[in-house]
Amino acid sequence: MLLIVLSFGILPVGGEAQDKPADAIRKQLAAAAIQRESVRKQTELAARYRTISEVAGSLAECDPMPPVEITPIVDAAAQGNQLKSALIRGVIEQESGGRACAVSSKGARGLMQLMPATVEQFQVSDPFDPKQNVEAGAQFLKQLLEKYRGDLSLALAAYNAGPAAVDQAKGIPDIQETKDYVSAIMKKM
């Protein structure tokens, strides 16, 4: 009788009586391969989240974009959405300080701090790409201005606190951060 020694024991080869143990070992090897693939996928996913956390924790490493780079992006988004460039610039300054890699503790990303739902709504493939981020943020601002019939204060409050908070409050919510946000951007207009 021929025996094969593996790291997990002795495997008999040949004969019908030995087929059942061999089948069991083949199944174990297949299960181990599936587990290795699962671990590989989990490791990749963890690395992605770790990268986002590292970016969020190290904004000092991400300098604000220079005006020469950001101005054409802002102007194009403003023109395409019939908004004032100063409005978009004001939102960018307030949201991210002009940092394209900014990530908030709530998961907002990029120059205009797009939330995941907004990224999905406007089909943004890379929220850290300045052009995609600013265009989606401008579209969202236009949508909010239409919803609140041109009332810039309400649109800005909704951009900051969410439309549900503005609707529930029937105005600017009694949230100091939101009040300060609206006031700061309105002063820049």
Q: How far is CA 113 from CA 12, 34, 95, 149, 169, in A?
A: 63, 38, 6, 23, 23
- Which of 95, 120, 146, 177 is labelled catalytic? 95
User: Do 150 and 123 have their domain in common?
Assistant: yes
Residues 113 and 140 reside in one and the same domain:
yes
Same domain for 43 and 75 = no
Domain CATH code at residue 130: 1.10.530.10
Q: What is the pLDDT of residue 42?
A: 67
Specify whether 74 is located in the same domain as 26: no
Residues 105 and 44 in one domain: no
Same domain for 31 and 71, yes or no, is: no
Torsion of CA 144, 127, 109, 71, to 10 degrees: -70
Total of domains in the chain: 2
Task: Clarify whether residues 89 and 137 are in a common domain.
Answer: yes
Of 14, 41, 57, at which residue does a domain stop?
A: 57
What is the chain's mean pLDDT, rounded?
A: 85
Please check the confidence at residue 91 and state whether its pLDDT lies above 80: yes
Same domain, 85 and 51: no
Tell me the pTM.
Answer: 0.68
Please indicate, yes or no, whether residues 15 and 96 belong to a single structural domain of this protein: no
Residues 68 and 50 grouped into a single domain: no
Dump pLDDT digits (tens) for 134-180.
999 999 999 999 999 999 999 999 999 999 999 999 999 999 999 99
- State which residues form the domain around 99: 64-188
Active site residue 16: no
Question: Are 42 and 95 contained in the same domain?
Answer: no
pLDDT tens digits, one per residue of 14-54: 545 556 777 888 888 887 778 777 767 666 655 554 444 44
Question: Do 70 and 51 reside in the same domain of the chain?
Answer: no
